[in-house]
Structure 1
Amino acid sequence: MSKNRKEINNCIKMSQNFLTSRFKINNCITKTNLSRNDIVLEIGPGKGHITDILLNKCSLVYAVELDFNLYNQLQNKFKNKNNLKLYHHDFLNWQLPNIDKYKVFSNIPFNSTTEIVDKLTKGKYSPEEMWLIMEKGASKRFIGSSKESLKSLEIKPFFEMDIAYYFQKDDFHPKPKVDIVLVHFKKKDVTDIKEVDKNNYFNFIKTVRTYGFEKVFTKNQLSRACMIAGLKRDIALNHIKYAHWISLYESYKYFNAK
């Protein structure tokens, strides 16, 4: 098997489509606010095409690579760079940096998108801002552009989200079959749910979306909660907007505090 074919097969196995054009990577990074003052994390740097640019743009780069051969290549490629901290590790089992502020820029493996976003948004040391390259379909679930999903409801209390850049399929190697975008996450200065309430809120939305309002409210409580939120009592769950979910949770918390 040729070296090029072997690389393509490895990409497919990891569900990772690589950006290799320096021009296209630079064009993408101009959509961010990354600067010389920033510490940035990259997940799955591969051969280091993005890493190289981040090292020249930011003060410090954390790079976490699972593939041992690629990790060795990165070590050799950047052996003279003193602003790189390179780790051979599975990112999902890697501890996020215990520092005050850092950002993330990464072309993540598409088959681990949900797990990676969960780790970055729910972790104890979550980043202040991040830009993740992912499939457009996945981005819709996180952003909740047409209707709220469980994931969008889990993230929105803590992060603002938007699509910062739309890629061409030809930008990647191998060429993906679906549309790819760069999603921007920015941590809210004041969160919509307090940190101490986070797990309770997660349990509330999961329970309601699985079993319905009857599992968490009495009939009278539900009528009152819907009135406060400005909702009809018989509204379908997938028609409820994010702000209404927050109102319903506040009512739930109030009723259960008595």
Structure 2
Amino acid sequence: MFLINGAWQDSLPANDRAIQFGDGCFTTARIREGRVQLLDAHLARLRLACERLFIPFDAWSTLETEMVELANRQVNGVLKVIISRGGGGRGYSPAGCLAPTRLLSISPPPAHYSAWREQGITLTLSPVRLGRNPQLAGIKHLNRLEQVLIRSHLEQSDADEALVLDSEGWVTECCAANLFWRQRNQVFTPRLDQAGVNGLMRQHILSCLQQSEWQVHEVNATAAALEEAEEVLICNALMPLVPVNALDGKRWTARELYHFLAPHCE
């Protein structure tokens, strides 16, 4: 069941634009000990996405209350929040769509993330590339077909996650995570002004690094840059931080940056 506009139900109207066009945004939050981790950041992410997509959502206080109340029902788990533009007509025009839909759900935590944190993971280079679009870059909109295709290819491999490039060949992210790599005291992460999702854990890590002795850089880099790395990490709000052991034959064993960041990413 889902909490849809304050009522528990399991369906949306067929004319909801989330179904018709993927016209909306979402965030996925970690519930820990009955509390939404990074609650303010998740709400800020949704606000930014609604502004970018011109969705006239204004029930922020109600949404926050619902997020907190649902988290209280789940000691540890996942809270997903979707905001769609709501019901509309047949065409693309959003005219007259003045009642956005809010949809919340809770689920158990991903069981494999604990093992990933302890053992590390393997990446493979995805053949699927992300389209560049500065209007949509950074936000978590509902158009996720690229990620569906990336995941489909990933499941045909033995790897745990996929390294994803954009259409120009720049390293951008993973299928469901952001990426960092280290050379000595220099830490790098892809620029996300043209493609990709600016994840909340990525933002949190950047803030931690900027207040530390590590030198951090947001860059355009090819996959070859990871060949020179001494350490590679991935992150998202649920993991929240995982070391990478290998990428298509290249291996890493260092954990210096991981051990520095892990206490800040609980």
For CA contacts below 8 A with separation 6 or more, give which structure has more relative contact order. Answer: 2
TM-score of the aligned structures, taking structure 2 as reference length? 0.28
The structure where strand makes up a greater share of residues is 2
- Kindly name which structure, 1 or 2, has the bigger radius of gyration based on alpha carbons: 1
Bigger helix share = 1
